[in-house]
Structure 1
Amino acid sequence: MRFSEKIGKTPFRVSMQIESIDEKLENRLWNTIQINFFDVIGVNFYHSVQKDSDIGYVFQAIWQEFFGNRADEIPKNQLRDISAQEFVEYIKDWFFKSHWFEKYDFLEFLSNIDLSYLEIGFIEHCNNSLKKEMSAYRIVDACIVQITSEEEIVEIEDALLNSSVWEPVNTHLKTAIEYFSNRENPDYRNSIKESISAVESFCKIIIGNDNATLAPALKIIEEKHKIHGALRSAFTALYGYTSGAGGIRHSLLTNDIEVSLEDAKFMLVSCSAFINYLKVKIEK
């Protein structure tokens, strides 16, 4: 908190930015895009960009895939190379006129380029900017996710890292994140299903039995690795919640309770934390 905020001369933000982006966050995000993306990959406003270069590939992906523009209309100079200055100015003009959710769309697109192609650490810088301005969103595995607690982000990221050597577990977790983070059509029901399936898959791997279900697998793990009985019972009950007559894994019934963002968030964070916990226990 700044000095002026402490003495009450200027207000300080007390709530997360959820369905909005204020001017400070908007400016910080643009600075992150400029400094930690364009500058890092070597964009020079005074130079042109050849189409078959690495920067040319990135520019064309942004122009055609994100904006959906015609390939022959990308800004060019007299030599028919891409004009870096005009290209970035086009993006900047769009960015400051776009809706808050469109800005996050763009961050997500650049994050996918970073994760799959560039590997320049752009996602980490974005998350730092989002954290500093109290955004309710973070980027996890190149997806924008609404999670308001930093501890929750850590649990999910650690679970993704810890499960990277176990493909089924990792796949279930990533799918849960994708369902949860889809802003146009979030699927909280299937996100919960994938979260608990990640735990079940990990338990199967621990006991070496692909045919086991969660409850008996947890019983074996409780006895072998000394996990608390109450914790085993809690996750067995959660599994029952997803598998019961009106549960997550069954067709919707007229009297079913609607699955909310809060339900899916709780399951994603809880299952991630439990996977991290189990990993520590079996390594002792």
Structure 2
Amino acid sequence: MKFSERIGKKPVKVDIQIESMDDDLRKGLWNCFYQSYLSPIRPFPTSGTKLSLFFESLWTDFFKETIDKLPDEYYETEEYLKGKFFRMEWYEVYDCLEFVLKTKTSLERLPRIFFNSCNKVLEKELSAYRIVGTEITQMTDKNEIQEIEESLVNSAVPHLKSVYVHLSTALSLLSDRKSPDYRNSIKESISAVESISKIIAGDRKAELGKALKVLSDKIGLHNGLKAGFSSIYGYTSDEGGIRHAMSDEKEIYFEDAKYMLVACSAFVNYLIMKAERAGIIWG
């Protein structure tokens, strides 16, 4: 995260790759294909085998090339496939991945290895998509990203500095491609809700449960919402929860941290709007 973003001078952009694919993501996915399908089969598979038929199908059915142009030499096929892969649009790359996953080969371990390695790359590079079964599924939509960005803009003011710090830290921990920290990202997300609740309630020492109770009277917070976030806070605060138990006994995943950041961002936006409508004086 840039210095100007950390201090609230510029809005933080959510770095999840939706309807796009940067070089690192594309290279990572190519490496998955290369290591799963190309590297293990040198020299080129014997004609007529299921593996050679797989490459023929990729050549003719996906890339729509004539079969007589399929090179006899392994390296020529590899160079062709690599060239096409790196020139395709981002959505065509995902088309190609799906085609590979749905095509049978003689080595059943290949699709399984390919599946696992691709999903690791998709998560590491913050792609909005994952492989589920044999299809690419969108796990993050534009509305979720917009909710996070809006919460950062709304809280980038002096009286909500603590809220902004928690949200931007949660995003930074989530989107760190080298060493993501999903556990502490969740911790920061719920802390943002706790912070905005204390500010609106006018009691910076109150726990979230007490602050939410005050909010119900001050801004007309719905009982269902109050109960829902009290439960989430309990999950992150109890003996086996995230805030207090930092052991590795319970693994936390990208989707867990992303969901919490989106949910908490939306709740922060909601509370700010409700407070302004109720005429709350910030300070």
TM-score, normalised to structure 1, is: 0.50
CA contact (8 A) 2:193 2:268 kept: yes
Deviation at 1:148, TM superposition (A): 2.1
Q: Which moved more, 1:17-26 or 1:166-175?
A: 17-26
Query: Is the 1:207–1:217 Cα contact (8 Å) retained in structure 2?
Result: yes
- Do structure 1's residue 210 and structure 2's residue 204 form an aligned pair? yes
Q: 1:162 to 1:230 in 2, by over 3 A?
A: same
Distance 1:235 1:147, change over 3 A: same
Amino acid at match of 1:200: E
Task: Tell me how far apart the structure 2 counterparts of residues 202 and 25 of structure 1 sit (CA, whole Å).
Answer: 42
Contact 1:243 1:249 in 2 (8 A): yes
Of residues 257, 266, 276, the one that matches 1:264 is 257
For the pair shown, which has the larger CA radius of gyration, 1 or 2? 2
Give 1:247 deviation, angstroms.
0.7
Contact 1:156 / 1:268 at 8 angstroms: preserved in 2?
yes
Matched with 1:230 is 224
Residues 15-36 of structure 1: per-residue CA shift (max 9 Å, x gap): 986764863447xxxxxxxxxx
* Cα distance, 1:212 vs structure 2: 0.8
**Given the two structures, how large is their TM-score scaled by the length of structure 2?**
0.50
Deviates more, 1:202-211 or 1:189-198: 202-211
* Secondary structure at the counterpart of residue 221 of structure 2: coil
RMSD: 3.1
Counterpart for residue 130 of structure 1: none
1:190 is matched with 184
Distance 2:128 2:240 in 1: 31
**How much has 1:204 moved relative to structure 2?**
1.0
Cα deviation for residue 206 of structure 1 reads: 0.5
Separation in structure 2 between the aligned mates of residue 226 and residue 20 of structure 1, nearest angstrom: 49
Q: 1:258 to 1:237 in 2, by over 3 A?
A: same
Whole-Å Cα distance in 1 between the matches of residues 173 and 246 of structure 2?
Answer: 17
Q: How many Å apart are 1:147 and its aligned residue?
A: 6.6
Q: Which residue of 1 aligns with 2:235?
A: 241
Alignment pair present for 1:273 and 2:282: no
CA distance in 1, matches of 2:274, 2:210: 18
| Cα 1:194/1:25, change in 2 over 3 Å | farther
Counting only pairs closer than 5 Å after superposition, residues 75-154 of structure 1 correspond to structure 2 as 136=128, 148-154=140-146
- 8 Å CA contact 1:16–1:136 kept in 2: the answer is no
| Contact residue 179 and residue 187 of structure 1 kept, 8 A | yes
Aligned residues, how many? 159
Alignment of structure 1 residues 137-176 onto 2, 5 Å: 148-165=140-157, 166-176=160-170
If asked which structure has higher relative contact order (CA below 8 Å, sep 6+), I would say 2
**Displacement of 1:194:** 0.2
CA contact (8 A) 2:167 2:188 kept: yes
Any idea what SS the aligned residue of 2:275 has?
A: helix
Percent of aligned positions with the same letter in both sequences?
49
Cα separation, 1, equivalents of 2:234 and 2:240: 10
Supply the AA of the counterpart residue of 1:163: S
- Unmatched runs of 5 consecutive residues or more in structure 2: 1-18, 31-84, 91-120, 130-137, 278-283
Which residue of structure 2 lines up, in the alignment, with residue 283 of structure 1? 276
Deviations 1:53-106 (A, max 9, x none): xxxxxxxxxxxxxxxxxxxxxxxxxxxxxxxxxxxxxxxxxxxxxxxx8xx99x
